Amino acid sequence: MGIPFEKIPTPSYVVDEDLLRKNLERLQYVEQKAGCHILLAQKAFSMYSTFPLIAKYLSGVTSSSLFEARLGYEEMGKEVHIYAPAYKEEEFEEIMTYCDHIVFNSLQQWGRYKEKVANNVKKIGCGLRINPEYSEITTDLYNPCFPGSRFGEKSSQLSREALEGLEGLHFHTLCEQNADALIHTLERVEEKFGKYLYDMKWLNMGGGHHITREDYEVEALIKVIQHIKKKYDLEIYLEPGEAVALNTGYLVATVLDTFENDKLLGILDASAACHMPDVLEMPYRPFIIGSGKEGEYPYTYRLGGATCLAGDVIGDYSFKKPLQPGDKLVFCDMAHYTMVKNNTFNGVNLPSILLYSEETGFRLIKEFAYEDFKSRL
Ligand SMILES: *Cc1c(COP(=O)(O)O)cnc(C)c1O
């Protein structure tokens, strides 16, 4: 591990710019070879100090809200797309000033806003989210196709007349998946929506493509994009979030105390509930550098945060030596879905945000204080 984590205050998120660039190079390879457009889904990663770097490789951003659209517009300055389950009347004018593409979740939403879009000076491409009723995601929390899902229109609701004026279709049904899941999904999309695709200008295949994961089948992805693009004469968009920042960040924490209650316990200045909420929501167990599974090394600890939530438990980890107050622990893969989701529950401060590269060392991007906690309440 080359990064000298001992030197920084904790808790801190550290994003490694060199690793981020490596991910971006892989994504750009897909863009160029497949002839598609890749957008950063800001929902996963909105650390805008990296947007100038990301802008060198990707086509722009996608957004889930007015604020994300504005951030992408101001900080990246390339294509801005948006999809939200519903838009607010009082925000729509401003959304139009930032966005190149607007994707509607329902035909009713499209009906409500189509006049506004038509009368807008700047031309905006509009699309509809479709629900292919097919997903290989097994956790309902992340499955946009479970029965009764609020995401997208099913093919039974559509007709040529209903789609009049729309120039694109959008689906998002993947989560941390390989190209095979996309290929299966596209079979359903073609079956159910293929007849409409010939009239469209673009197809947005959403996020959830784990393109930067080591075992991801990039060539299979490129092949299926080229096939769809050619068959229906479409522009293709992908909007991964996680894949942009996958394995590029860390959360560095300090051990505050250890004690025993049936098990050895370690209390950290980083919290699952406040600083890595997906550990509890997903749930999953993040890797700590130098640690083993429960029982793998002599000293197993149950690690948790310094909040009053009984379930603020990160997981069970073993170490070669006993933990001591002051020891630093480095959690891996902490760039995405962390800074964008964290909170100050219990008045616990937010981690600082740092950028690191081998050439420049650490750069402090942001630090938080009492005022950040108070100002939201
Ligand atoms: C969440 C989301 C994304 C990004 O998903 P990742 O799993 O982070 O790649 C893209 N598009 C839409 C519509 C989303 O809801």
**pLDDT tens-digit series, residues 216-241:** 999 999 999 999 999 999 999 999 99
Answer whether residue 2 shows pLDDT above 90: no
Nearest CA to ligand 1 atom 10: 207
Distance from C-alpha of 286 to C-alpha of 244, rounded to nearest angstrom: 18
* pLDDT attached to residue 81: 98
Which atom of ligand 1 is least distant from the CA of 176? 7
The mean pLDDT value for 99-105 works out to 98
What CATH number is given to the structural domain containing 134? 3.20.20.10
Task: Please work out whether the CB of residue 83 comes within 6 Å of at least one atom of ligand 1.
Answer: yes
Which atom of ligand 1 is least distant from the CA of 209? 9
Task: Please work out whether the CB of residue 175 comes within 6 Å of at least one atom of ligand 1.
Answer: yes
The mean pLDDT value for 244-248 works out to 98
* pLDDT attached to residue 242: 98
Which atom of ligand 1 is least distant from the CA of 210? 9
Residue of 239, 242, 246, 333 to mutate, ligand 1, most atoms within 8 A of C-beta: 239
Show the domain range for 289.
Answer: 5-14+249-334+342-375
Contact 69, 91 (CB under 8 A): no
Residue 286 lies in a domain: yes
* pLDDT attached to residue 141: 84
Q: Is the pTM of this model over 0.75?
A: yes
Task: Please work out whether the CB of residue 218 comes within 6 Å of at least one atom of ligand 1.
Answer: no
* pLDDT attached to residue 1: 52
Which atom of ligand 1 is least distant from the CA of 243? 9
Q: Side chain identity at 31, as an amino acid letter?
A: E
* pLDDT attached to residue 145: 86
E strand or H helix at 66: helix 66-75
Count of structural domains, the chain: 2
* pLDDT attached to residue 186: 98
Specify which residues 299 forms β-bridges with. 319
The mean pLDDT value for 44-60 works out to 98
Residue 20 lies in a domain: no
Residue 123 token pair = 């031309």
Q: Side chain identity at 107, as an amino acid letter?
A: L
Residue 190 token pair = 């073609």
Say how many Å lie between the CA of residue 207 and the centre of ligand 1: 4
Contact 327, 349 (CB under 8 A): no
E strand or H helix at 329: strand 328-332
The mean pLDDT value for 54-79 works out to 98
Place of tokens 């100038």: 52
The mean pLDDT value for 335-351 works out to 98
- Of the chain, the percentage scoring pLDDT greater than 70 comes to 100
Residue of 47, 59, 64 to mutate, ligand 1, most atoms within 8 A of C-beta: 64
Residue 21 lies in a domain: no
Where a domain ends, among 215, 245, 275?
245
Residues 256 and 239 in one domain: no
Task: Please work out whether the CB of residue 246 comes within 6 Å of at least one atom of ligand 1.
Answer: no
